[in-house]
Amino acid sequence: MEKRVVFPPNFLWGTATSAHQVEGDTLNDWTEWEKNGGSKHLSGKACNHWNLKRFQEDVERMKVLGLNAYRMGVEWSRVMPKPGVIEQGVLNQYRQMLMILQQAGISTMVTLHHFTNPTWFVKSGDWTKTSLEPFYAYVDATTKTLADNVNYWNTFNEPLIMVRMGYRTGQWPPGKKARIISAFYLRKRLAEAHNEVYKIVKRNTGRPVGLVHNFTSYETAHGWLIERAIAGLQDRIANRWIIEHTKNDFLGVNFYCRQVFNGFRPLPASRLGKRVSDFGWEISPQSLTMVLLGLRRYNLPIYITENGVADAKDKLRADFIREHVQAFRLAMRAGVDVRGYFYWSLLDNFEWAEGYTKRFGLIEVNFETQERRIRPSAYVYRDIIEAGTNS
Ligand code: IFM
C-alpha cells in the first residue's frame, strides 16, 4: 500500500454472501435442482448461518477483521413458503440478524433476489411466464419489516447470469438451453421487475436502491478495429444495456474477469494471463479499473458489491485483494465515485453447480463440523482497512 490513502472516512469495507449459499436448510428451486444432480453437492446445512448463535459468532469475526459493512441476502422461499403467505417469524429473524450487525457498528446491504426462487413459483411457470405479483408482495412485506435495519437495498443479483445459466447454457435451473428468444425477453422482464421493486423499496424505506450486475471488461488482443467493434458491442449488450434500462440510486458492481477478443473470437481462459484462480478465472485487476472508468458516464455512486477469488490454499488471495484495492483506488483518483468494496466472500460457501469445491472465503469453513478458521489473507484485508480508515 502507498502511504497517501484516498479513502473517504465513511467508505464501506465489507464482505458479501447470499442466503442460499450460506444459510443452510433452504427449500427452493435450487435445492430441487441439486437433488436432481445439477450440482456437485447438496447445499444442505451450508454454513449454518441461519443459526443465530453461529451468525453472531460470524459477526464477531467480522469485527476482528475490522469490517464495517456486510452484504447479505433474504431468501424469498423462506419468507413466502406458499403463494401469498408471509412468514412474519422469518422476517423477524432477519431483523434480529440485521440488529446484531447494527449493534456491531456494521452497515447493512440486503439483496432481495439472488438466483433462488420458491418451488411453487417455478412450478406455476418460470420467470418468463409467471405473474410477478407474489414476488412484489414478498418485496413489500420484507422491506416494510426491515426498513429500519437496512442501509442499502439490492433488487436482483446478477440477473443476466441467471438468464445465461438458466436459459442459454442450461447449467442452472430451469435448465433450458439455447432459448435465445426467452432469454432476450427475460432480460427485459427482469429490468422491468427491477424498476417495480425499486419503487416498492423506495416507498417503504426511502433508502438507496441499486441493481447488482456482473461487469466484464471487454478487451482486445491487438487493438484491431474489428476487435474494438466487437468488444464495444459486447460492452453495450452485456454491461450497459441493463444499466440504461433500470432506475438506480447506485450501481452494484460485481467484478471477476475480463474477456479478450482475438479477431472475432474471445480468447480461451487458458490463453489469458498466467495467474488463475481454482475456477480457472484469470486474475486481472487492471480490468476492474477499466470497468469502473467506463461507468463514470452514469454519474452514480458505485459499490463494488462482489470481487473475490476461489483459492482453497490461500496462496493468491492476499495479492488479489491488495491489487484490486489498488485498482479501484486508481479509478477513484480518476474521479469515479466508488463508495465501498465487498470482498466475495466472508465464508467458504455453496458455489452453485460447483457445490463446495470452490473456496472464496476470507474464513475457511469445515462443512463437516462447521468449524471456522480465519485465513491469513483476511488479516491482509484487515490491515488495508485499518490503513484506509486511519488516514
Ligand atoms: O458465488 C457467486 C455469487 O453467488 C454471485 N457472483 C459470483 C460468485 C462467485 O461465482
Main-chain dihedrals φ then ψ at residue 270, nearest 5 degrees = -65, -15
The yes-or-no verdict on residue 270 having pLDDT over 90 is no
* Atom number in ligand 1 closest to CA 349: 1
Interval 245-266 mean pLDDT: 98
Pocket flag, ligand 1, residue 344 (CB < 6 Å)? yes
Give the pLDDT score at 76: 98
Atom of ligand 1 nearest to the CA of 254: 6
- Mean pLDDT across 190-202: 98
Q: Does 351 sit in the ligand 1 pocket, CB within 6 Å?
A: yes
pLDDT of 391 reads 53
Q: Does ligand 1 lie within 6 Å of residue 303's CB atom?
A: no
Given a cut of 80, whether residue 285 has pLDDT beyond it is yes
How do residues 88-116 score in pLDDT, each as one tens digit?
999 999 999 999 999 999 999 999 999 99
Which of 41, 111, 158, 162 for mutating ligand 1's site (highest number of atoms within 8 Å of CB)?
158
The finding on whether 254 has its CB within 6 A of some atom of ligand 1 is: yes
d(CA 266, CA 221): 9
CA dist 377 to 3, 184, 342, Å?
Answer: 20, 41, 15
pTM of the model: 0.97
Residues 58-88 pLDDT 10s? 999 999 999 999 999 999 999 999 999 999 9
Out of 342, 352, 354, 362, mutate this one to test ligand 1's pocket (max ligand atoms within 8 Å of CB): namely 352
Query: Where in the chain does DSSP place strands (E)?
Result: 12-16, 69-73, 107-113, 152-157, 209-220, 251-262, 265-266, 302-306, 338-344, 363-365, 372-374
Residue 250 has pLDDT above 60, yes or no: yes
Question: What single-letter DSSP state applies at residue 114?
Answer: S
* Statement: residue 205 has pLDDT above 70: yes
- What mean pLDDT, rounded, does the chain reach? 96
Ligand 1 centre to CA of 351 (Å) is: 7
Our mutation pick for probing the ligand 1 site, out of 351, 358, 365, counting the most ligand atoms within 8 A of Cβ, is 351
Question: Is any atom of ligand 1 closer than 6 Å to the C-beta of 58?
Answer: no
Read off the C-alpha cell for 341.
468494496
18 lines ligand 1 (CB under 6 A): yes
Q: Residue type at 256? A: Y
